[in-house]
């Protein structure tokens, strides 16, 4: 259902304000669209970003084979499709001789069949996907629906497509009628962004990119990406400064800062004094005052002399939007801004959210953390709708131009396309605000792939040793031991308490033992004054770097998945 024209008034008013501000500084600004690339160029960039750059050479490295061995069938097909296109384009341009994709994948016949690494991919995802029911595409507003994160989204889409379950779903502007989704907690619990170690999180963006591409392939959509923008240097210290530079400077003052201090100050000021203001974010402050305040902030912010209590709320909201727009590269990144905008083309709401979830996982950490801080604030604005008259759609239409228009991407939009892009951008912002808890979750299937990747890497190091023959028996023995363990109804394990106790806690596990039970037992046994809510249990080592465990994780199941890990109780850092 198309969005009515009246609801877009605040969007176009915001666009006009942005253009007036840009004209005053002789800068051009427009809705971002994707630049066209030569054939094969996009595929080469994709393979590099997917961590498979060695496939562009003469052979796949051990790193590539390790990553490829974790992929599902739809993901593997997406990789092969891009490698095939890249190889054909190189041959057509008659540059350096490029080996045929069939040579790399060890295919002897004239027909391109499954590559050698594809044949080794387990059928776990496909077989599980086919037994699940994903056919609930008719949205029932107000009713809670299951959002499955155990099976790869592209595999789910392939099953739905096979059964012709996909159907158009209506777009609803009223936040109260949006479908409610629930992530079913499996036996291993839910993993949020921030629960994984930095080492494991580095693996997530490449896996998410491959999965997003596979999902788009199944749905028949092109994944639009731009080239990374070259950042201009600036003498300023706050506005127009790259996020990474801002954070580096801020971390010198306050280590472990994850969101720029200026943005934190702007949001804090608005939360204290602006949430109840009618038309906050929509009603524009004075451009002259905002420019003057920007100069004062550049001079006084880090000295602590800037007086926030003297600034009008509408001017602060103007500064907030200006800060976002002035970033040298878009907050959603130059590469993926077109992909965020293209999410609107996916007809099914659940699949739009799947694509958004993957895009957010692909974002660099500074961008993702900054976006989350912004969205949390926007949720608070929507929650005060009765006072400030800003509902979810109002907030989305006002913020969309600030996130999707950028002076660094001055592309001309074909006539008649602006309205579609505008509505789609507002719809994407609306989804990010409303479903942010779901979108900031790391899917169970991606965590499983990280585990496989870690196992593959540890096996590779073993294979580097020429005495591998002596180790093969041990590997098989360990595998048999794990398989036998899975039949065990109970197990006694030790849980360590980091910085709290020298002794470890002995825990008897059965099928019903959860993380919350262990934390309660720890508190009871050691008369610990800390609340259970201030304690966290971590899984460390084995096939994971480190993972903060959901209180509802069943520990015997986790033990079977990762028998070589240590379990450590730590204080909640927040």
Of residues 222 and 356, which shows the higher confidence score?
Answer: 356
Domain membership flag for residue 474? no
What is residue 5's predicted lDDT score, i.e. its pLDDT? 44
**pTM of the shown model:** 0.85
Report the range of poorest mean pLDDT among 68-77, 297-306, 381-390, 488-497: 488-497
- Please name the residues in contact with 450: beta carbons below 8 A apart, sequence gap of 6 or more: 196, 200, 203, 204, 207, 544
Residues 105 and 9 in one domain: yes
Mean confidence (pLDDT) of the chain: 81
Residues 162 and 294 in one domain: no
What is residue 111's predicted lDDT score, i.e. its pLDDT? 36
What is residue 133's predicted lDDT score, i.e. its pLDDT? 56
Residue whose entry in the numeric block shows the structure tokens 């990474």? 244
Contact 295, 321 (CB under 8 A): no
Residues 84 and 211 in one domain: yes
Of residues 198 and 461, which shows the higher confidence score?
Answer: 198
Domain membership flag for residue 470? no
Contact 326, 240 (CB under 8 A): yes
Contact 70, 125 (CB under 8 A): no
Helix (H, G, I), strand (E, B) or coil at 277: coil
Contact 537, 568 (CB under 8 A): yes
What is residue 481's predicted lDDT score, i.e. its pLDDT? 53
Q: Does residue 533 carry a pLDDT above 70?
A: no
Domain holding 518: CATH number? Answer: 3.10.20.90
The two tokens of residue 497 are 């308490």
Band (pLDDT 50/70/90 cuts) for residue 90 is: confident
Residues 311 and 341 in one domain: no
Q: Does residue 516 carry a pLDDT above 90?
A: yes
Domain end among 276, 306, 328 = 328
Burial 528-556 (b: 16+ CB within 10 A, else e): beeeeeebbbbbbebbbbbbbbbbebbbb
What is residue 321's predicted lDDT score, i.e. its pLDDT? 95
What is residue 114's predicted lDDT score, i.e. its pLDDT? 43
Helix (H, G, I), strand (E, B) or coil at 332: coil
User: What's the rounded mean pLDDT across residues 27-50?
Assistant: 72
Residues 321 and 417 in one domain: no
Residues 220 and 368 in one domain: yes
- CA 64 to chain CA mean position, Å: 22
What is residue 62's predicted lDDT score, i.e. its pLDDT? 67
Domain end among 276, 296, 328 = 328
Burial 319-357 (b: 16+ CB within 10 A, else e): bbbbbbbbbbbbbbbbbbbbbbbbbbbbebbbbbbbbbb
Domain membership flag for residue 156? yes
What is residue 3's predicted lDDT score, i.e. its pLDDT? 42
Q: Does residue 274 carry a pLDDT above 70?
A: yes
Band (pLDDT 50/70/90 cuts) for residue 408 is: low
User: What's the rounded mean pLDDT across residues 134-162?
Assistant: 79
Domain membership flag for residue 479? no
Q: What whole-number distance in Å separates Cα of residue 281 and Cα of residue 72?
A: 44
Q: What whole-number distance in Å separates Cα of residue 266 and Cα of residue 367?
A: 17
Domain holding 263: CATH number? Answer: 1.10.555.10
Residues 510 and 438 in one domain: no
Residues 172 and 243 in one domain: no
Domain membership flag for residue 473? no
Domain membership flag for residue 475? no
Residues 122 and 148 in one domain: yes
What is residue 416's predicted lDDT score, i.e. its pLDDT? 67
Residues 197 and 241 in one domain: no
Look at the alpha carbons of 94, 95, 97, 103 in this order and tell me if their dihedral is positive or negative.
negative
User: What's the rounded mean pLDDT across residues 193-203?
Assistant: 95
User: What's the rounded mean pLDDT across residues 349-361?
Assistant: 97
What is residue 461's predicted lDDT score, i.e. its pLDDT? 53
Pairing of strands 566-571, 490-497: parallel
Q: Does residue 247 carry a pLDDT above 90?
A: yes
Domain end among 425, 448, 464 = 464
Residues 322 and 338 in one domain: no
Contact 260, 293 (CB under 8 A): no
Report the range of poorest mean pLDDT among 374-383, 384-393, 487-496: 487-496
Band (pLDDT 50/70/90 cuts) for residue 37 is: low
- The tally of domains found in the chain comes to 3
Band (pLDDT 50/70/90 cuts) for residue 168 is: very low
> Please, which contacts does 137-144 make with residues 24 or more away whose CB atoms are closer than 8 Å?
137/165, 137/166, 137/167, 137/169, 137/348, 137/350, 138/167, 138/169, 139/169, 139/170, 139/179, 139/349, 140/179, 141/172, 141/177, 141/178, 141/179, 142/177, 142/180, 143/179, 143/180, 144/180, 144/181, 144/182
Q: What whole-number distance in Å separates Cα of residue 450 and Cα of residue 458?
A: 12
User: What's the rounded mean pLDDT across residues 418-436?
Assistant: 90
Domain membership flag for residue 472? no
What is the span of the domain harbouring residue 100? 1-229+332-464
Pairing of strands 441-442, 191-192: antiparallel
Pairing of strands 405-406, 566-571: unpaired
What is residue 227's predicted lDDT score, i.e. its pLDDT? 75
Domain membership flag for residue 495? yes
Residues 298 and 404 in one domain: no
Q: What angle do CA 48, 50, 52 make, to 5 degrees?
A: 60
Band (pLDDT 50/70/90 cuts) for residue 178 is: confident
Could you read off the pLDDT of 275-293 as tens digits, one per residue?
Answer: 999 999 999 888 899 999 9
């Amino acid at each position: 259902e198309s969005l009515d024209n009246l609801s877009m008034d605040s969007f176009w008013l915001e666009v006009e304000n942005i253009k007036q501000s840009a004209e005053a500084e002789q800068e051009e600004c427009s809705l971002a669209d994707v630049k066209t690339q030569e054939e094969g160029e996009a595929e080469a960039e994709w393979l590099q970003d997917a961590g498979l750059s060695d496939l562009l050479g003469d052979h796949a490295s051990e790193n590539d084979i390790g990553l490829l061995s974790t992929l599902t069938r739809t993901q593997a097909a997406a990789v092969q499709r891009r490698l095939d296109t890249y190889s054909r384009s190189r041959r057509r341009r008659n540059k350096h001789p490029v080996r045929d994709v069939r040579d790399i994948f060890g295919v002897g016949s004239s027909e391109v069949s499954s590559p050698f690494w594809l044949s080794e991919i387990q059928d776990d995802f496909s077989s599980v996907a086919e037994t699940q029911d994903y056919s609930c595409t008719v949205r029932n507003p107000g009713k809670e629906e299951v959002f499955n994160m155990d099976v790869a989204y592209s595999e789910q889409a392939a099953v739905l497509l096979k059964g012709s379950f996909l159907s158009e779903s209506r777009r609803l502007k009223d936040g109260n009628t949006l479908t409610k989704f629930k992530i079913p907690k499996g036996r291993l619990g839910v993993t949020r962004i921030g629960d994984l170690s930095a080492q494991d999180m580095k693996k997530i963006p490449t896996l998410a990119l491959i999965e997003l591409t596979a999902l788009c392939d199944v749905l028949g959509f092109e994944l639009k990406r731009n080239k990374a923008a070259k950042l201009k240097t600036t003498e300023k210290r706050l506005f127009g400064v790259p996020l990474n530079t801002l954070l580096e400077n801020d971390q010198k003052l306050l280590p472990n800062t994850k969101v720029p201090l200026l943005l934190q100050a702007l949001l804090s000021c608005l939360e204290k004094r602006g949430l109840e203001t009618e038309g906050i974010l929509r009603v524009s402050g004075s451009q002259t005052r905002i420019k003057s305040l920007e100069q004062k902030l550049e001079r006084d912010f880090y000295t602590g002399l800037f007086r926030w209590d003297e600034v009008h709320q509408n001017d602060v909201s103007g500064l907030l939007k200006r800060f976002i727009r002035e970033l040298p590269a878009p907050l959603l990144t130059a590469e993926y801004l077109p992909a965020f905008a293209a999410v609107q083309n996916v007809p099914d709401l659940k699949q739009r959210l799947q694509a958004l979830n993957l895009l957010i996982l692909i974002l660099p950490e500074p961008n993702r953390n900054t976006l989350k801080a912004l969205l949390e604030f926007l949720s608070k604005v929507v929650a005060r709708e009765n006072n400030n008259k800003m509902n979810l759609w109002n907030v989305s239409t006002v913020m969309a131009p600030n996130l999707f228009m950028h002076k660094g991407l001055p592309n001309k939009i074909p006539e008649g396309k602006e309205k579609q892009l505008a509505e789609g951008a507002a719809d994407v912002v609306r989804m990010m605000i409303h479903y942010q808890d779901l979108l900031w979750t790391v899917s169970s299937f991606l965590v499983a792939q990280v585990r496989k990747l870690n196992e593959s890497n540890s096996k590779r190091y073993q294979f580097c040793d020429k005495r591998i023959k002596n180790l093969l028996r041990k590997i098989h023995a360990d595998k048999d031991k794990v398989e036998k363990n899975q039949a065990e109804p109970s197990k006694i394990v030790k849980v360590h308490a980091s910085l709290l106790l020298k002794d470890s806690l002995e825990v008897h596990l059965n099928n019903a033992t959860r993380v919350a039970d262990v934390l309660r037992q720890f508190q009871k046994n050691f008369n610990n004054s800390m609340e259970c809510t201030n304690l966290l249990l971590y899984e460390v080592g084995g096939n994971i770097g480190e993972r903060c465990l959901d209180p509802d994780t069943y520990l015997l199941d986790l033990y079977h998945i990762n028998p070589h890990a240590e379990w450590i109780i730590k204080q909640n850092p927040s």
